[in-house]
Structures are given as structure tokens and as C-alpha cells.
Structure 1
């Protein structure tokens, strides 16, 4: 194989990754799988797709070696093939945010109340959480928290939050996070907490953003 053909072959292999990512639903699948491994049924339910279409998207991701599956009884369980796949999703979003006005406009609508966002200094926020000056809560499902979570965060899934309000202090700020900046579970949590008289803000980060920043997670 001459040099030109070799270079073309290499670019073709890289293009396999781009082709696999050329779908909004596949990007969302990767975001969900970055939290924890999931069954096809659970993924289909969360993304509002039927099982057949979900399986087709997972097949495309599997062929690009971005996910892998295993059979567990009658269910197929999928996971990312590495933490670098989750980081790739964060990097793609960062490029879109830097260069696409359409992304910026849509994201501004999603984050319509910037005063409810926690500061972006990750290490400072975690230092505050370690000292007990703020309370960081992870409102994702418990199995996602068990897989990996931000240091010093408490697991209070969104569907349990109302029943567990008494466990949270009203004299300190509550910072909620979920699966990243596109996730709305933390918005719902902040709205509920504020309605009940708590000081609460949302953190845009999730575990993938933490990994992309080179910071340690807890498990």
C-alpha cells in the first residue's frame, strides 16, 4: 500500500466515527450511556423511541466501536467502550457552542434563567461542598449515581426529592446537577426547591463534563 492509499484508509477509519455520530438520537444515546450501562428497553423509553429503532441506532454505534453490548437474561445491556467516548461528546458540544449561532440561540433558550446557574469554578464549588458550605445533590436515578458521581454529592433522585426535602438545610445553598447542560431534571429540582423556600441553583456539569475537565469522580 502506497502512502496516498494508506492515508485515505486511515481517514476512512476516522470517518466511521463521524458517520456513527451523525444522528441527534445517537448523540443522546451516548449521553445517557455515559451515566451508566442501560438495557435497550430503558434507552428506548428515555429517548421516546421504539425498541427496533433504538436497536438500529445502537447497532450503528456498536459498528463504530463506540458502544458494546452483552446479553443479561432476555435483555441486551449496553455501555460505552471507554470514558473517552463520553469526553468526545462533550468536545463535540463545545465546538458546536463555539461556532454555531443556531446552537447558541437554542442553548440560550434552554438556560433562560442564568441567575439560577451555579458558578463554573468546579474546584471552588467542590471545596465549598467539602466544607459543608453548600450541598450538592445528584438528581439522576440512583443507579447512575452508583456508577459515578461528583465528589461530595448526595444522591437524591428527582422522583424522591419532594419526599426528602426535610433532609436538606434551608440555611445553605443547594446545587443540583444531572446529566449535563441539556438535562432538565436539575431544572425541575431547582424549581421545586425554590418553591419550597430553599436557596437552589443548577450546575451545568455532569460526570462527562467532569471527566473532560480531567477531574476525579467518586463511585
Structure 2
């Protein structure tokens, strides 16, 4: 045992992060606890592949589990893991030009207006906006911005009537690299609503230690 063993231990975390699908699973778990089956569906993976990836993350100390009946639920091992994921994204964006190029292609045109977290808090206090959470309902139930309405993106077209015509709508989703809020704002504007999006999302909201309702 010595220096090499120490660095091998550190490398376990790197191994956990060194796969695109495992990073996607971490991104999903940053929204809240989920079952293996739910993660497999959200990440478009088979259940066996998902379980294998989760085992690597568990061995790296990045996730923990609990059993409920026959189901196993996973969650991040701590807030520091969510912060690590946000840091990985930030470092990649800062030093790899392909990140921003790929994000631009994935997101589409930068044609939606955004507000900062502080601006949103101010507008909520003034009661001048309607906030909608366009993530899947399961993620909303795990924690959301207080007062936000759960309107998953795939339900938005059918629920436009639930939204006030005379209020600015603020949409938010998972985080800075989530396209759901962009798509929601475009859809809302196409139907005549005044709409903007939160500049990032629930991951950053939690990391900023802002209020969360469940």
C-alpha cells in the first residue's frame, strides 16, 4: 500500500465518470432518486445495461441504493457528486470547443429569452410570473421550485388552457444543458404566450441552496 494505491483509489471516480451514458445517468439522478427501470427508460438503455453502469457508479462511490420490495432505487451519494457533475460540464465547456458546437446543434437557435435565478426569485416575490416545470412528473415530484406547476413538455400542447394569458410564463427543466425549457418557450410563444426560460435549471437551483418543494 502506498502512493500508487492512493491514486488507484482516486482513479475509481474517474472510471465512474469515463462513459457518456454514466454521465447521463448522473444527470438524471441529480434530479432525484429513481428506480433502475425508470433510469433505463429515461436514458434509452436496456435494464441490464443500466444496472451495469450503475454498479460502476456505485463502486466509484458516486451513488447509493435502497431496496423497496423487488425494486432497487438509486440516488447520488451526496450534493458534492452533483457539484462534481456540474464542474465536469463547466470544465469541458471551457476547454473543449466541441462542447459548445455540439450544444448549439442539439439546442437549435438561441432564440429564447432567459432570466437568472435571482430575477426569477424577484418575479416570484412580485407574483408577476407563472412558473412551469417541464420535466417529467417523476422529477417534479422529487423536488421543484416552490409554486411551480408541473406541465411536462409532452403535455404542454394539451394544457395551454391551464395557463393565464396575461402572465409571463417562465419555464425551467433539468439544467444548463437541457433543451426542454427551450422547446417549451418556443411552443408557448407560437401560441401567443409571453414566455421566457430560467437560464439553467433544477441542478443549479439545488446547488445554489435555493428553496425546493417536494
Give the CA deviation at 1:105: 1.1
* 1:65-214 → structure 2 map (5 Å cutoff): 65-119=61-115, 121-214=116-209
Tell me the TM-score normalised to structure 1 length: 0.88
Q: Using the alignment, how far apart are the partners of 1:117 and 1:23 within structure 2? A: 33
Q: Check the 8 A contact 1:150/1:218 in 2, yes or no.
A: yes
**CA-based RMSD:** 1.9
**Shift >6 Å, 4+ stretches:** none
Extract unaligned runs of 5+ from structure 2: none
Q: Using the alignment, how far apart are the partners of 2:211 and 2:85 within structure 1? A: 18
**Secondary structure, counterpart of 1:186 in structure 2:** helix
Q: Please state if 1:30 is matched with 2:55.
A: no
Extract unaligned runs of 5+ from structure 1: none
Farther off after superposition, 73-82 or 156-165: 156-165
Q: Check the 8 A contact 2:144/2:213 in 1, yes or no.
A: yes
Q: Check the 8 A contact 1:126/1:152 in 2, yes or no.
A: no
Q: Using the alignment, how far apart are the partners of 2:78 and 2:51 within structure 1? A: 20
Q: Check the 8 A contact 2:29/2:76 in 1, yes or no.
A: yes
Equivalenced residues, count:
214
CA deviation digits over 1:60-119, x for unaligned, max 9?
Answer: 001111112222222221111112211211111011111111112112223433240313
Aligned to 1:50: 46
Give the CA deviation at 1:140: 1.3
Q: Check the 8 A contact 2:129/2:170 in 1, yes or no.
A: yes
Give the CA deviation at 1:122: 1.4
Tell me the TM-score normalised to structure 2 length: 0.90
